[in-house]
Amino acid sequence: MADEQTVYFERIVIGGSAKLVAVDATTGIEVTVIGPANGSHAELQKLALAKLKARIAREKS
């Protein structure tokens, strides 16, 4: 079975901006991305997940 990663997302809209926080459940590593409030939630999640994976890889090396 492939190992799965549990990631929690929280989206906060402040004025015209949306802040999306992604937290890896295993490591507790957290990253934040900011985009337009009327932007795609899925795109912000995709960006945050890529940033989180890069951060986890950097921490392991």
Whole-number pLDDT of residue 61: 85
| Number of Cβ within a 10 Å radius of residue 24 | 19
Number of domains in the chain: 1
* Tokens representing residue 3 in the block: 């190992």
In a domain, 50, yes or no: yes
Range of the domain at 36: 7-60
In a domain, 46, yes or no: yes
In a domain, 2, yes or no: no
Whole-number pLDDT of residue 1: 41
- Please give the share of the chain, as a percent, with pLDDT higher than 70: 95
In a domain, 33, yes or no: yes
In a domain, 1, yes or no: no
pTM beyond cutoff 0.85: yes
How many angstroms separate the CA atoms of 51 and 20, rounded?
Answer: 12
How many angstroms separate the CA atoms of 42 and 44, rounded?
Answer: 5
How many angstroms separate the CA atoms of 31 and 38, rounded?
Answer: 21
